[in-house]
Amino acid sequence: MQKGIKRKDLLGLKELERGEIEIILETAFSMKEVLKRPIKKIPTLRGKTVCFMFFEPSTRTRSSFELAAKRLSADTINISGVGSALQKGESVLDTMLNINAMGIDAFVIRHASSGLPYFLARHTDTAVINAGDGMHEHPTQALLDMMTMKERFGKLEGLRVLIAGDIRHSRVARSNIYGLLKMSAEVRLFGPPPLVPKEFEQFGAEVLYDKKKALRNVDVIMGLRIQRERLLESFFPSIREYRKFFAITPQDIENLSKDVLIMHPGPVNWGVEMDYDIIKHKNNVILEQVTNGVAIRMSVLYHFISGEKLDEEHLN
Ligand code: CP
């Protein structure tokens, strides 16, 4: 029988135990079955309310969290920087405490400041879920990435996962490194040295600067976005140069296993970190990742709001 998750918040995969990751993935596969039904809605979180506080742009994370809450019959409210009293100088903490006073069961927070969800979580008994904090962590993205890998390969143990691109500024990379290593996968990092510092080997990942070596026998290639908004310094000479040496192209995949997965958390800079022809490549599972994002976020909302194990009755 599945166990519940007893911690209050989902802040990062650094803190989560392997068993907790397994529970979230297992529930997400059950939630995915719910999403295949003609009526994709269950009453599991009826009467609960989720507040989304997104202070950074988002397409996938925000929409899939909102859809996940609605699929579980929770009520939702949205607070953003524009249109709230934050514009009058109210702090994020005061904003959260005031909204919480209205009766909230979970806050889902995205913010440009690394660590802000941790700070807020310490000031409330309500569940706080990190939807991406600065360059720090994006736990639900890594969970949906692991779900996509597990769905295709039936396991995570022993998979060779290459994460390519701007690792330095990537919260997705950090969460995937923590999560995949806990699940006994092998993680390789590849990109220009200023964007893939050797220090990342301290996490337990392998840092490689030679594309051929990086790609050898990989099961998964995960491209990451060149984050123009965070590249305050010049980390490589030009986009053209980056594309020439570091972009993932169909030629790179030609000699790899026919089952290799091509992944990307999005948004993709097509023609920069990923060649345009990858869009229609048969191994591209980028949109499957997005589909799995709804199931993972249903699982996360379920566990962190209810704190219960998932029984069959919760799926009806
Ligand atoms: N992958 C991801 O976090 O995308 P959004 O920024 O659109 O949410």
Q: What is the atom index within ligand 1 of the atom nearest the CA of 56?
A: 6
Closest C-alpha to ligand 1, atom 1: 265
CA of 131 to the centre of ligand 1 (A): 9
Task: Tell how far the Cα of 53 is from the centroid of ligand 1, in angstroms.
Answer: 14
Give the confidence band of 227 by pLDDT, cuts at 50, 70, 90. confident
Pair (281, 191) in one structural domain: yes
Q: Which amino acid is at 304?
A: F
Domain that holds residue 209: 139-290
Q: How far is the CA of 174 from the centre of ligand 1 (A)?
A: 15
Instruction: Give mean pLDDT, residues 148-157.
Output: 98
Instruction: Indicate which CATH number applies to the domain containing 273.
Output: 3.40.50.1370
**For residue 148, what are the CA distances in angstroms to 18, 137, 164?**
17, 19, 18
User: 283 and 301 share a domain?
Assistant: no
Distance from Cα 153 to the centre of ligand 1, integer Å: 24
Domain total in the chain: 2
Instruction: Label residue 45 left, alpha or beta by phi (over 0 means left) and psi (-120 to 50 means alpha).
Output: alpha
Q: Is residue 4 part of a domain?
A: no
Check whether 184 has a pLDDT greater than 90: yes
* Predicted local distance difference test score (pLDDT) of residue 230: 62
Residue 249 domain-assigned?
yes
Q: Which of 117-131, 163-177, 228-242 has the lowest mean pLDDT?
A: 228-242
Residues contacting residue 182 through CB under 8 Å, at least 6 positions apart: 13, 16, 17, 18, 21
Give rounded-to-5 percent helix, strand, coil for the chain.
Answer: 40, 15, 40
**How many residues are listed for the chain in this entry?**
316
278 with 310, same domain?
A: no
Tens-place pLDDT, residues 252-298: 999 899 999 999 999 999 999 999 999 999 999 999 999 999 999 99
Residue to mutate (ligand 1; options 52, 54, 55, 59; most atoms within 8 A of CB): 59
Write down the pLDDT at residue 314: 78
Residues 159, 253 within the same domain? yes
Instruction: Encode burial over 49-75: b for 16+ CB neighbours within 10 A, e otherwise.
Output: bbbbbbbbebebbbebbbbbbbbbebb
My answer on whether 202 and 299 are in the same domain is: no
Give the residue, by CA position, lying nearest to ligand 1 atom 3: 61
What is the predicted pLDDT for the residue at 311?
76
Question: Are residue 143 and residue 286 in the same domain, yes or no?
Answer: yes
> Does residue 52 share a domain with residue 38?
yes
Three-state DSSP at 262 gives strand
**Mean of the per-residue pLDDT values of the chain:** 94
Report, as an integer, the average pLDDT of 13-31.
97
Residue 211 parent element (H or E):
helix 211-215
Average pLDDT over residues 220-236: 79
Contact 67, 95 (CB under 8 A): no
Q: Is residue 242 part of a domain?
A: yes
Q: Which atom of ligand 1 is nearest to the CA of 131?
A: 3
Same domain, 230 and 93: no
Q: Which of 54, 58, 110 to mutate to test the pocket of ligand 1 (most atoms within 8 A of CB)?
A: 58
Q: Tokens 């790899």 — which residue?
A: 256
Residue 308 domain-assigned (yes or no)? yes
Top pLDDT among 255 and 300 is at: 300
* DSSP symbol at 56: S
Tell me how far the alpha carbon of residue 238 lies from the centroid of ligand 1, in angstroms: 25
How much is the average pLDDT of 57-78?
98
Question: Cβ atoms within 10 A of the Cβ of 307, count?
Answer: 13
Q: pTM (2 decimals)?
A: 0.95
> Is residue 2 assigned to a domain?
no
Distance CA(51)–CA(275), nearest Å, equals: 38
Q: Confidence class of residue 229 from pLDDT cuts 50, 70 and 90? A: low
22 domain-assigned: yes
Bigger pLDDT: 244 vs 62: 62
Is residue 1 included in any domain, yes or no?
Answer: no
Same domain, 22 and 97: yes
Whether 173 and 297 share a structural domain: no
Note the pLDDT tens digit of each residue in 83-133: 898 899 999 999 999 999 999 999 999 999 999 999 999 999 999 999 999
Is 34 part of any domain? yes
Q: Which residues line ligand 1 (CB under 6 A)?
A: 58-62, 132, 138, 141, 265-267
Is the previous residue joined to 38 through a cis bond, with omega within 30 degrees of 0?
no
Which ligand 1 atom is at minimum distance from the Cα of 138? 3
Whether 203 and 64 share a structural domain: no
Given a cut of 90, whether residue 232 has pLDDT beyond it is: no
pLDDT higher at 232 or 212: 212
Q: What is the pLDDT of residue 1?
A: 43
**CA distance linking residue 166 with residue 195, whole number of Å:** 5
Q: Which two tokens stand for residue 32?
A: 């995915």
* Residue 3 binned pLDDT confidence (cut-offs 50, 70, 90): low
Distance (angstroms) between ligand 1 centre and the Cα of 115 equals 18
Taking residues 9-15, report their average pLDDT. Answer: 98
Structural contact between residues 291 and 33, judged by C-beta atoms closer than 8 angstroms: no
The percent of residues above 90 in pLDDT, for the chain, comes to 86
